[in-house]
Structure 1
Amino acid sequence: MRIAMVLTFLAIGTVMISGCGPKAFTKGEYDDPTRVELLDDKYNEADMQQMADTVIKAMVACDYVGKAPKPPVVIVEKVLNRTEEHIDTVSLTDKIRTALIKSGKVRFVNKEERGTISDEYDYHASGAVSGPSAKKKGGQIGADYILSGALATNVQQVGNDKFIYYKLTMNLTSLEQSTIDCTEEREIRKKFRKRSVGF
C-alpha cells in the first residue's frame, strides 16, 4: 500500500513538472517584418528599422554626401551600445550600410575582410594566379569618412507605468580634417503599463 502511494505521488509530480516545463513551438507562419508589434519592453526590430530609416535619409540629404562630385568612401565603426540591454548593433549598421550603398550616394570600404584580402594578395603574388589577372597591393581606395555612433537609453518608472527612451546618434567624420560633416539623432519613447495580477 505504501509503495503504491509513493508511486502515485511520483507519477503526479512527473506530470506537474512536465506541465511546467518549456513548451515547444510546433506550428509557425511567416510574419510581416515591417509590422510594429510591441511584444515586450525590449529594443526590437521596429525600433531598429525606424532608427535606420532616419539615419539613411539624413546621410543622403547631407550636402557632403548628396552634393559631392563623386560618392564618398566610408568605413563603418561598430555603434557603441550604452544601454543595459544586449543589442545587436552590427545589424543596425548593416541595415544602414546596405541602404546607403543601394542609394548610389556612398561607397564603403570592407573593413571586416581586410585580413582575407591581404591573404588573397599573398596568394596572387605566389605565382599561382596568371599575371594579367593577379591583383597587387597598393590599389585599394582609402576612406574619406568614418561612420560611427552610439545607442543610449533611459528608463523611468512612475507607478504602474514604465517609460523607455532610446536615442541613436550617428556621425560621419572626415578622415582628412577630423570634422563631423554629417550627424543625425533618432529618439524613440515607449510606454508600458504593468500588468495587474489577479487571484
Structure 2
Amino acid sequence: MNSRLILSACLAASLTAACGGPRAYTRGTYEDPNTIEMLSDRFNENDLQLIAKKMAESLANTPRFAQATAQAPLPIVLVGKLKNSTSEHVDMRSLADKIQTALSQTGRFALVDQGARLDIAEEYEYQQSGYVDPNAAKGPGQQVSVDFIMTGDLASIIQEVGNDKLVYYKMTAKLNNVRTGLIEWTDEKQIRKKFEKRSVGW
C-alpha cells in the first residue's frame, strides 16, 4: 500500500471517528426557567408553571378568599392527590409542590404539607422514645386542622393528522371543604399545542 492510500485511509478513519464517535454535552449556560421553549411534544416545565399560576390566582381571587380580612385566620389548605390521567409520565408531586408554592406566595392561605405530616409523625415517635428530654419533647394532639383539601386531575387528548400533531391538556382542580365535603371552588387550565413533523438528521 503506497503512502497516498495510507494517508487517505487515516483521513477517512479520522472523519469517521469525529462524526460517529461518542459525544457529550460539555458546555452549557444558565437559562431563564420562565422562558417558553418546546423541544418535544411532551408535558414540560412551562405547562407545569402555567397550571400552577392559573390555579393559585384563580383560588386567591375567589370572592370568599379575596375579601378575607386581616383579623380573620388564614384558611388552612392541603394540596392533596393530583391524578395523572394522561398517557405520559408526569411528575404530579412536582406539580402539587408548584401549586403549593404559588398559593403560599399569594399570602391568603396557610399551607399544610402532606409529605411533612409523615415526617412529623416519625419525629413524634422519636421524641417520645426516651432519647429527648421529656419536658421538651413534642407530641401529637396540637397540630392544626385542615380546612380545605385541593384535589385535581390532569387529562390529555392527542390528535395526529399527516404531519400535524395537536396536544391538548386540561387540568381540573377542586377545593373541598373538609367539614362539609362541599366543593367550595373549582377551575380548569387548558393548554393546546401544535407541532409539525419534520425530517431530522443529515
Name the TM tier (shorter chain). Answer: 0.7 to 0.9
Of the structure 1 ranges 53-62 and 103-112, higher mean CA displacement relative to structure 2 is found in: 103-112
Q: What is the Cα deviation at residue 123 of structure 1? A: 2.8
Alpha-carbon deviation of 1:198? 9.6
- Equivalent-residue separation in structure 2 for 1:84 and 1:53 (angstroms): 24
Q: Is the 8 A contact 1:169 1:185 kept in 2?
A: yes
* Aligned match of 2:55: 55
- Report if aligned partners of 2:146, 2:178 keep a CA contact under 8 Å in 1: yes
Match of 2:104 in 1: 101
The equivalent residue for 2:151 is 148
Query: Which position in structure 1 is the counterpart of 2:44?
Result: 44
TM-score between the two structures when normalised by the length of structure 2: 0.82
The residue correspondences of 1:3-152 to structure 2 (distance < 5 A) are 19-20=19-20, 23-68=23-68, 69-152=72-155
Identity of aligned residues (%): 41
Are 1:164 and 2:159 matched, yes or no? no
Q: Deviations over 1:115-162 (max 9, x none)?
A: 321222233334443355322210011111111101111111122211
Distance 1:118 1:72 in 2: 23
Aligned residues: 192
**1:75–1:147 Cα contact (<8 Å) kept:** yes
Shift of 1:112: 0.9
Alignment of structure 1 residues 169-180 onto 2, 5 Å: 169-180=172-183
Q: Is the 8 A contact 1:76 1:148 kept in 2?
A: yes
Aligned-residue CA RMSD (Å): 2.7
Any gaps of 5 or more consecutive residues in structure 1? 2-8
| 1:64 CA displacement | 3.4
Superposition misfits of 4+ residues, deviation over 6 angstroms: none
Q: Deviations over 1:92-120 (max 9, x none)?
A: 11111012123221112222123321222
- TM-score, normalising length from structure 1? 0.84
- Cα 1:197–1:58 change in 2 (3 A) is closer
Unmatched 5+ residue regions in structure 2?
Answer: 2-8
